[in-house]
Amino acid sequence: MSTIVFWHGWGMGPQVWNDLVERLRTPLAPHYELIVQPLPGYTPAQEPVVHYSVTQLLDDLMAGLSPPVILCGWSLGAILAMLAASRYPEHIKKLVLIGATPNFIRRTDWANGIAINMIDKMGAGIRVDPAATLKRFVTIFNQNDVNAREITRKLAEVTSAPVPSLESGLDLLKHTDLRSIVPGIRQPTLLIHGAHDTLMPVSAAEWLNRHIHKSQLLVFPDASHAPFLSDTEQCAQVIMDFLDVRA
């Protein structure tokens, strides 16, 4: 039996997957084991992460997982999923990437990211008032989502991580550029993206779709950065279609 592993994004704990996993669990149970895996430093049982070594982080995440694995990652979790697919090609069977980008930061040769001073401001805000900074972050990535108010309500109930883990995650986002490794990803890949995503614009997902050999891109026209929260039912359906599972 294959395992589907869910990796969440920066600032949002593993509970962010509750609605989607609940919807998927019954139809997928005969075929897959579903595991929601917190990123290091995101649960009370874990020590805060002072510095993320990407290779060590991936080694730690993959250590307890038995192949074959399907990785479903959102935002930072999607970045890590692509890295894992490259580092562990024999373990990773398929990828589901939600709100994904190969490069979070805008650079001279990459216009599909955010300005570096925005991430620096987020880092400064996290050190002063993490709760207020995360609230602003949710407001930013929910802009123009048809269900923004409901998503904000749901995310208010999701626990985050200690400040050192949040700072380390921002540092990882700031310095990770996957453009050179993406063309080497050979796993079948489903890209799910919100049309109104301001953090990771659709153009970033379109770039991934052009450069991942076996990929397909589905854009949710009314969603922003969290389409699996904006339209959980439709997101579950496209994942089941990708896995060729009937509800």
Residue 137 in this model has a pLDDT that exceeds 80: yes
Instruction: Write the burial class of residue 169 (CB in 10 Å: 0-12 exposed, 13-18 middle, 19+ buried).
Output: buried
Whether 75 is catalytic is yes
Q: Are 170 and 116 in contact (CB under 8 A)?
A: no
In terms of phi and psi (left: phi > 0; alpha: psi -120 to 50; beta: otherwise), the region of 106 is: beta
- Please give the residue that has the higher pLDDT: either 169 or 1: 169
Q: Which CATH number fits domain 2-243: 2.40.10.120, 3.40.50.1820, 3.20.20.370, 3.30.1300.10?
A: 3.40.50.1820
Q: What is the dihedral of CA 37, 42, 47, 51, to 10 degrees?
A: 100
pLDDT digit string, tens, across residues 62-113: 998 989 999 999 999 999 999 999 999 999 999 999 999 999 999 999 999 9
What's the residue count for the chain?
247
Amino acid 6 reads F
Q: Which of 160, 193, 225, 230 is catalytic?
A: 225
Q: Which of 75, 168, 215, 224 is catalytic?
A: 75
Residue 94 to residue 194: CA distance in whole angstroms: 21
pTM reported for the whole predicted model? 0.96
Beta bridge partners of 180: none
pLDDT digit string, tens, across residues 201-243: 999 999 999 999 999 999 999 999 999 999 999 999 999 999 9
Whether 197 is catalytic is yes
Residue 133 in this model has a pLDDT that exceeds 80: yes
Residue 45 in this model has a pLDDT that exceeds 80: no
* Percent share of the chain, pLDDT over 70: 96
Residue 202 to residue 5: CA distance in whole angstroms: 24
Average the pLDDT over 123-143 and give the result: 92
Residue 201 to residue 198: CA distance in whole angstroms: 5
Q: Which of 86, 165, 197, 230 is catalytic?
A: 197
pLDDT digit string, tens, across residues 167-194: 989 999 999 999 999 999 999 999 999 9
pLDDT of residue 4: 98
Query: Where do the domains of the chain lie?
Result: 2-243
